[in-house]
Amino acid sequence: MDERPFLVVNMLDLSDADIEQLKKFHKSYYNENNVLSTANELKYTTEIKEIFNKEIQSPTSDFVRFFAKQIYTTGQITQKVVEMFTPLVKKSMSMVINDIIAERLNTAMKNDEQVEDTTNISSNLPNSPKENTENKLPEGIVYMDKEAGIITTQEEMDAYNIVRSILRRSVDASRITYKDYKTYFVISLDNSQWYWICRISIGARKKQIGIPVNKYKSCDWIQIDSIDDIFKYADRLEESIKMAIEKL
């Protein structure tokens, strides 16, 4: 029996992907062969994702050598060469990820423009019914306001749900609200603009959680490796919600 489970879910923070996997265990859908196949696939894809994520954050020597061997042809790949290529590999990977995200956003915007043009044309044609066309967003994006430049990602919503799960012991979860801005994602109490609980900043290169200090006079930004690290700052969030309750 494997030491590591092939599927781990948080029942307080279920994603759509988790639900799709759990459906396979319902008696209406259960198929032993499919479950075994899924277990085997998830086991390896999860480990590959973990390895790849670590390489993105901090490329190993072997990973850097893989690229250096294909580019550096003027001599041997020494430790000095590896050290020279390490920041270049890390920067290049971030650029590739940014390009992929930008391409998806551009595609989504073009699709929105095409849908709008088609709708306008159809509305001007006699006896032509209007069709409700659902705007499709890129994978990982749950909301996008092109005019305001605001993009709400699934990762930001996951971070919001983590904060709710931490603070529901102190306050009704329905009172914990959020508002997205161009520069960061704000989680607050009762939609208050002034008495916020924390700020979330998720970029291609780094992720941060900001916690109010000195009675909201400043923000303590803490860099995190993943949104799961938010659980490490549960005590700070508890202090923040108490401060917000006192102000309200």
Q: pLDDT tens digits for 71-80?
A: 888 888 999 9
Distance CA 247, CA 104 (A): 42
Contact of 202 with 156, CB cutoff 8 Å = yes
- What's the token pair of residue 155? 């990762």
Q: What is the pTM of this model?
A: 0.47
Contact of 167 with 158, CB cutoff 8 Å = no
- What's the token pair of residue 18? 């988790």
Bridge partners (DSSP) listed for residue 151: 144
Per-residue pLDDT reduced to its tens digit, 97-156: 877 777 776 666 655 555 454 444 344 444 433 333 346 788 888 888 888 888 999 999
Per-residue pLDDT reduced to its tens digit, 158-204: 999 999 999 988 899 889 999 999 889 999 999 988 889 999 999 87
Higher-pLDDT residue of 54, 116: 54
Q: What secondary structure does DSSP assign to 61-79, as a single string?
A: HHHHHHHHHHH--SS---H
